[in-house]
Amino acid sequence: MSFYSMASKDFKNCPGLIGSMDGFFVREKVCVQVKKVYDACLQQDLLEDLIVKVVPDDCSFAKPLRFIGCRNVESKGIIKDLMVDRLEDRPNFARVRAKVGIKLQVEFVDADGVRGTGTTVVFVPKDVILFVPDESIIPFEIEATVGATCADGEFIDDFRFEIDLCFTIILKVIAVVELLIPAFGFCDIPPCEEFAENICSEFFGLPLFPPQLEDIHCRSGSD
């Protein structure tokens, strides 16, 4: 599914034209350089019994290893073996095929109780239909935003693990453009709130003089 599929017609938070800006005080029109997302689609799935080979940060770990967990190292996916084939029966749309790589950091504990980490890359095949703009001086690009975490995992041998991977992939058609947008002026940047441990706050909260017996009784009566 994409922004422009019929199944998306009821989604309010999709790109498109707006009727008016009534009620908003637009101060100026500004030109900004941005990555414009022409189309996008999301996939969330589970890969079970996936065998991965981990490159450890240090090779001096005692076997066997105990799997702790894993998650993605960065949110930008690796695009590999990209193929974009325009569809004759659907103008401006194309079949987009690629392998999207998700870089993972795997955490484990060795036989001596020493914690360690290693990295690996899992490639997920994608075969989708997206709106792809016509050729232009500034070319379009295919990008992926990814997220992943291990639902389960088990050590096999050497630095190989068998994992169950929950993943999210957002495949996007983007181009770097100069976009004219309405603006409300510059942002007001508030001053920073400095962090400071007030070690004296409990002491300063004490009464200045020792309470009298009458004061204690008064407080007890009011409770």
Q: Give which of 100, 94, 67, 70 is closest to 82, Cα–Cα.
A: 100
pLDDT of residue 11: 63
Asked, for residue 150, whether it belongs to a domain, the answer is yes
Asked, for residue 172, whether it belongs to a domain, the answer is yes
Please state the pTM of the whole predicted model.
0.75
Asked, for residue 1, whether it belongs to a domain, the answer is no
pLDDT at 62 over 80: yes
H/E run at residue 121: strand 115-131
Rounded mean pLDDT of 133-159?
A: 93
Count of CA atoms in the C-beta half-sphere (13 A) of 53 = 1
The separation between the first and the last C-alpha atoms of the chain, rounded to the nearest angstrom, is: 63
- pLDDT per residue over 68-84, tens digit each? 999 999 999 999 999 99
Give the pLDDT band (50/70/90) at residue 176: very high
Asked, for residue 202, whether it belongs to a domain, the answer is yes
Mind giving me the DSSP string for 66-109?
Answer: EEEEEEES-SBPEEEEEEEEE-TTSTTEEEEEEEEEEEEEEEEE
Range of the structural domain that residue 204 is part of: 6-222
pLDDT at 126 over 80: yes
Tell me how many domains the chain contains: 1
